[in-house]
Chain A
């Protein structure tokens, strides 16, 4: 009980810290750090998505960059057409480009969710290492598709010239954009908490630990896991849309398997199955990358050593280390 309490305090602290950094930066007129905070919030959001599948559903997806990238491309492509004044699709229905934020988000969630449903349907027939590898394979397929098809510039990617518009808000203002990302991050965490705490969440937890037991009480594990997988991809897809807006650029590199690995690192660094873990993981990763990268061009070597140390000696991630004891299983 005490430990649960500790973790709650810790979570509030984490959330407040992520809020404090950009506010401080704003006061000191250092807009760069606001962008960094937005990046942390967005990557954490991608991690929150993966955490739902990986942490709570036990589905180790090594292909979440596919959903991140698809979300990014959905938003990027629509906004590209809006800028050019061209149509995205003529047949069977006409779909125009759009620069309305909500439309872009909706498209990102829809596309990543739909693709996740197809990938999930096939992948969830497998388990264990097979699941890890088949999700990787699907992500690779989408990566090569994006790189070689000329329609949206292939590997060169698409530059976006304007931030989308959300009624009443100036999205091109760095601080406003951060607040939007931050709000979505907290909303996604809140949703995760609700999902995990619901009857559905109990079934998912049961599917993770023992599928046979779940079947024995008359619930088929497959649809439960598939639903969670699709939800997970949708959250990560939304993060992709925000990432593309932040960078003003979308390219196949956000579909690469390195990014799948990095999203996994966010989750594991923070602590698998911890609601606020991805924030800690993403923040730590970006700070490490930036700080070490400022000192030496061999930053990847030191990053690798630190990550290895965390896996070997800090089970349960940073939150596990601070709040004590791995979670109950």
Chain B
């Protein structure tokens, strides 16, 4: 096992991590401000990917498609906020879970109705389809580095938005004391719609970026949704910083688990069995991580309002 191999796997962990962060940031923001648990966040991820693929196919430009994906996800977010989510803010988590679970069914079938049952084509922009040489040999796909760049930009952007802008001030106010923002004369409905749309847009961004790398198909949002929940639960629900740390942790554990666990098992077992057990353990690793973190810190690594 060469140093380049380990370095490459670390880069892979980082790339998975920042992508999960973009996905989880929206989820945790919505929870922090409105106290809403949104299972349909994965559907917004899917909306972003489908619109990106569709528009990129029509115009021939990935970047135009990406813009369209962001707009579509934000718009879908704003619409469901006004039609559905708004009625759920003062309900308990149970109602929120069921209502947003229903939204998943609606979005999945709706998307299939509009776009058809077959997966859509979306490839990375031609200019990014090369790899960059790594120190110690081998190459690393440029597009994955670009994704890391998008992720870091999102993190910085969110930090600036929340700490430096008027909207950010209102968001912070909303997180600590919901009644206060009403008293400040802020139109709370608009604020909530805006925050939800931002969260949705982030999901759409993740969907479009990852869709180009993976596949654009109905139901693509659910596995990612569960990962994003693992991330925000580990980080502390409502905490953006927690989401970042949680995402990197999950990225590390998942990638390194897949890369090394079966080799660990191979020390004690014949290769075929080691592969099987290694793969089984690798798919459970992040849930194990989550259980350990919560057993140790029941409100996550960075508890909000503790």
Main secondary structure of the interface of B (DSSP, over half): helix
The interface-forming segment of B52-60, B133-141, B199-207, B281-289 is B281-289
Known: A60-B97, A138-B291. A308 touches B84 (CB 8 A): yes
Smallest CB separation, B299 vs chain A (Å): 6
- In the complex, whether B182 has a CB less than 8 A from a CB of chain A is no
Taking a contact as CB atoms under 8 Å apart, the answer to whether B229 and A141 are in contact is no
- In the complex, whether A268 has a CB less than 8 A from a CB of chain B is yes
In angstroms, Cα B101 to Cα A303, docked, is 11
Contact digits for B124-152, partner A, Cβ 8 Å, 1 yes 0 no: 00000000000000000000000000000
Query: Which A residues, 179 to 227, have Cβ-Cβ distances below 8 Å to chain B?
Result: none
In angstroms, Cα B288 to Cα A257, docked, is 17
Taking a contact as CB atoms under 8 Å apart, the answer to whether A144 and B109 are in contact is no
- In the complex, whether A16 has a CB less than 8 A from a CB of chain B is no
In angstroms, Cα B283 to Cα A60, docked, is 25
> Residues of A contacting B157 with CB < 8 Å?
none
Residue from B103, B113, B280 whose CB has the most chain A CB atoms within 10 Å: B280
Known: A122-B294, A130-B233, A130-B294. A308 touches B226 (CB 8 A): no
Known: A130-B294, A304-B105, A305-B106. A311 touches B95 (CB 8 A): yes
In angstroms, Cα B102 to Cα A315, docked, is 15
Residue from A122, A141, A303 whose CB has the most chain B CB atoms within 10 Å: A141
In angstroms, Cα B226 to Cα A137, docked, is 9
Known: A137-B230, A311-B99. A129 touches B93 (CB 8 A): yes
Residue from B101, B103, B276, B279 whose CB has the most chain A CB atoms within 10 Å: B101
Smallest CB separation, A19 vs chain B (Å): 29
Query: Which B residues, 58 to 102, have Cβ-Cβ distances below 8 Å to chain A?
Result: 84, 87-88, 93-95, 97-99, 101-102
Taking a contact as CB atoms under 8 Å apart, the answer to whether B105 and A141 are in contact is no
Taking a contact as CB atoms under 8 Å apart, the answer to whether A149 and B280 are in contact is yes
Taking a contact as CB atoms under 8 Å apart, the answer to whether A311 and B229 are in contact is no
> Residues of A contacting B283 with CB < 8 Å?
144, 148
> Residues of B contacting A148 with CB < 8 Å?
276, 279-280, 283
Taking a contact as CB atoms under 8 Å apart, the answer to whether B276 and A150 are in contact is yes
Taking a contact as CB atoms under 8 Å apart, the answer to whether B37 and A129 are in contact is yes
Known: A54-B94, A145-B280, A268-B98. A134 touches B294 (CB 8 A): yes
- In the complex, whether A298 has a CB less than 8 A from a CB of chain B is yes
A123, A132, A141: which contacts B284 (Cβ < 8 A)? Answer: A141
Smallest CB separation, A252 vs chain B (Å): 12
- In the complex, whether A125 has a CB less than 8 A from a CB of chain B is yes
In angstroms, Cα B44 to Cα A304, docked, is 16
In angstroms, Cα B288 to Cα A145, docked, is 12
In angstroms, Cα B299 to Cα A54, docked, is 20
A301 to B, closest residue via Cβ: B109
In angstroms, Cα B108 to Cα A284, docked, is 22
Known: A122-B291, A268-B94, A304-B106. A130 touches B101 (CB 8 A): no
In angstroms, Cα B37 to Cα A128, docked, is 11
Taking a contact as CB atoms under 8 Å apart, the answer to whether A130 and B237 are in contact is yes
Query: Which B residues, 255 to 306, have Cβ-Cβ distances below 8 Å to chain A?
Result: 276, 279-280, 283-284, 287-288, 290-291, 294-295, 298-300
Known: A134-B294, A308-B103. A62 touches B288 (CB 8 A): no
> Residues of A contacting B294 with CB < 8 Å?
122-123, 125-126, 130, 134
- In the complex, whether B116 has a CB less than 8 A from a CB of chain A is no
> Residues of B contacting A308 with CB < 8 Å?
84, 99, 102-103, 106
- In the complex, whether B104 has a CB less than 8 A from a CB of chain A is yes
Taking a contact as CB atoms under 8 Å apart, the answer to whether A133 and B102 are in contact is no
A127, A136, A145, A303: which contacts B226 (Cβ < 8 A)? Answer: A136
**Besides A129-B237, A137-B291, 20 new A-B residue pairs in contact (Cβ under 8 A), listed by A number:** A122-B291, A128-B93, A133-B229, A137-B230, A138-B291, A141-B284, A141-B287, A141-B291, A148-B283, A257-B226, A261-B101, A264-B94, A264-B98, A298-B112, A301-B109, A301-B110, A304-B104, A307-B105, A308-B103, A308-B106
Closest 8 CB pairs of A and B: A304-B105, A301-B109, A148-B280, A304-B106, A307-B102, A308-B102, A126-B298, A144-B283
Chain A: residues with CB nearer than 8 A to chain B? 54, 60, 62, 122-123, 125-130, 132-134, 136-138, 140-141, 144-145, 148-150, 257, 261, 264-265, 268, 272, 298, 300-301, 303-305, 307-308, 311-312, 315
- 13 interchain pairs (CB within 8 A)? A129-B31, A130-B233, A132-B97, A137-B233, A140-B287, A149-B276, A257-B226, A261-B97, A264-B97, A298-B113, A304-B102, A311-B95, A312-B88
